[in-house]
Amino acid sequence: MSLLVPARRPALELLDDPTLPENEMRESLEDIDLVHRRWGADRALVAHLAPRIAALGRPARILDVGAGSGSVSDRLGRDLDRSGARARLVALDRQWRHLVAGRRLCRVRPLAVGADAFRLPFADGAFDWVISTFFFHHFSPDENQAMLREFLRVGRRGFAVLDLRRHRVPTMFFGLLARALLRTSVSVRDGLTSLRQAYTREEAGALARSASPTGRAVNVFPFGLLVTADR
């Protein structure tokens, strides 16, 4: 590690606690939706998926794992449609109450499924692609290897995982600005926790390659990662 890239610091995030009071959970989900909207969390996914869906010649089937409120699934589906690449999205999260609370954040309201990311309740190749946003950093390297292999079991054409990239600069700026931008202290604490336990491009790329020979990770401006594999 360097002065600008500290060692990874794994920790539990408050929003993952199923006993978090409902009002705090709902406000934190709204904060996350605000961050996604302001910083275009789905742009890199649209750029990656749109030409592949166009080559498919039919609407794609996409599973969004760790979807939280489902708002990114909703927005991604609409943005893909606008690009001319039609897709049917399913939002999956282990916590049903996140999906239920997020219904009012979604215009289209994608089909929602409550299930475990490590045991997806779908047949092999049930979807064209499996995606996730800001989910990868929650897990250890061993867990991510297992999860990416499960993504490849269900996603017949591959996966695309968008996440944060560990670096002191975004951590510093988030620490300075978060309290002015976000509604709840849960979001402030979880945001810092997420940044501190995120992966570097090199770390994420190695995990992607352990799941598939085509696995790779690229930097997304300003401090994001897109981890992909094609089949």
Number of structural domains the chain divides into: 1
Q: For residue 25, what pLDDT band results from cuts at 50, 70 and 90?
A: very high
Structural domain includes residue 23: no
Is 177 inside a domain boundary?
A: no
162: part of which helix (H) or strand (E)?
strand 158-164
Contact (Cβ atoms closer than 8 angstroms) between residue 180 and residue 193:
no
In this structure, is residue 68 part of a structural domain? yes
> Residue 125: which CATH number?
3.40.50.150
Looking at the predicted structure, is the pLDDT value of residue 14 above 70? yes
**Percent over 90 (pLDDT), the chain:** 86
Integer Cα distance of 211 and 170 in angstroms: 28
Both tokens of 207, joined, read: 């995990």
Tokens describing residue 147: 């999860």
User: Is 130 inside any structural domain?
Assistant: yes
Using H for helix, E for strand and C for coil, what is the string for 102-149? HHHHCCCCCEEEECCCCCCCCCCCCECEEEEECCHHHCCHHHHHHHHH
Q: Tell me, yes or no, whether 192 lies in a domain.
A: no
Q: Is 190 domain-assigned?
A: no
Could you list the residue range(s) of the whole structural domain that residue 159 is in?
40-165+200-230
Query: To which residue do tokens 């489902």 refer?
Result: 70
Establish if 51 belongs to a structural domain: yes
What pTM was computed for the model? Answer: 0.96
Look at residue 11 and tell me if it is in a domain: no
Which tens digits make up the pLDDT trace of 174-199? 999 898 989 899 999 999 999 999 99
